[in-house]
Amino acid sequence: MLLIHCPHCREDREEEEYSYSGEAHIVRPLEPEALSDQEWGDYLFFRKNPKGIHHEMWYHAVGCRRYFYATRNTLSYEILETYKVGEQPQVSAQGAAQ
């Protein structure tokens, strides 16, 4: 059971209040019709699934009902930061490696 800080409620809340919404920062192509099947398939279905630092989207389903981002270590389950949609992460896999 994780304890996740909601950047909107500004509180640590239990995991059962949230639902997981997959990888963060995936940008919808501006012109889908211009993509090849391979590119469209990559956008729709293929995810990084890294071992270690991962930026992901969470939904505060029974709290403020807002989406936000979290940087989580998928190995240790440590949550390094949470931030609002539109903001950029302070912690990255490259940064952590240095």
Binding site for Zn ion (CB under 5 A): 6, 8-9, 60, 63-64
Q: Running DSSP on this structure, what letter comes out for residue 33?
A: G
In the complex with Zn ion, which residue's Cβ is closer, 9 or 91? 9
8 interacts with another protein by CB under 8 A: yes
**C-alpha separations of 9 from 6, 20, 70 in Å:** 5, 17, 14
Q: Rounded to whole angstroms, how far apart are CA atoms 34 and 69?
A: 29
Partner residues linked to 54 by β-bridges: 72
Number of residues that bind another protein (CB under 8 A): 18
Partner residues linked to 58 by β-bridges: 20, 68
Query: Shortest gap between Cβ of 64 and Zn ion (angstroms)?
Result: 3
In the complex with another protein, which residue's Cβ is closer, 62 or 96? 62
Work out which of 66, 81, 92, 93 binds another protein, going by CB under 8 A: 66
14 interacts with another protein by CB under 8 A: yes
